[in-house]
Amino acid sequence: VEVDKSQGWMWWIQSVYVRPEHRGRGVFRALFDHVHQAAVADPEVIGLRLYVEDSNFKAQEIYQHLGLERAGYFVLERFPL
Ligand SMILES: CC(C)(COP(=O)(O)OP(=O)(O)OC[C@H]1O[C@@H](n2cnc3c(N)ncnc32)[C@H](O)[C@@H]1OP(=O)(O)O)[C@@H](O)C(=O)NCCC(=O)NCCS
């Protein structure tokens, strides 16, 4: 979790992986709906976030289908150190 001091908490969904043979059967939908409902029920939580690889178009489409939108950031790293 990350705090936006002016408004509330942003909950992050991190590193989602569904085994190939179980994809397309609502596993991520169930996880996302659960987290979303818990977030809506908590008045201190203002949003959900995740990041996805630029090249992972399929996951991007799924996330957009579930109502997630580009957040206006890009992620930077120094890796390997
Ligand atoms: C991305 C991933 C987590 C999705 O999990 P999943 O269990 O297969 O997804 P679901 O079956 O729950 O589908 C979620 C929703 O997206 C929809 N969807 C599926 N493919 C879609 C596509 N190409 N475009 C738009 N929507 C799509 C589904 O219909 C479902 O919506 P619905 O409930 O309204 O029908 C899974 O495919 C995965 O593990 N991929 C490999 C690892 C990966 O890319 N992880 C993400 C790293 S950020």
pLDDT tens digits along 35-66: 999 999 999 999 999 999 999 999 999 999 99
Name the residue with tokens 């991520």: 28
The closest-lying atom of ligand 1 relative to the alpha carbon of residue 23 is 8
**How far, in Å, is the centroid of ligand 1 from the Cα of 28?**
6
Preceding amide of 80 cis, omega within 30: yes
β-sheet with 2-4: strand ranges across: 2-4, 8-12, 45-49
Render pLDDT for 8-33 as a digit per residue (tens, 0 to 9).
999 999 999 999 999 999 999 999 99
Q: What is the pTM of this model?
A: 0.92
Helix (H, G, I), strand (E, B), or coil: what is residue 27? Answer: helix
- Does the beta carbon of 29 sit less than 6 angstroms from any atom of ligand 1? yes
Residue 5, amino acid: K
Helix (H, G, I), strand (E, B), or coil: what is residue 19? Answer: coil
Beta strands in the chain, from DSSP E residues, in sequence order: 2-4, 8-12, 45-49
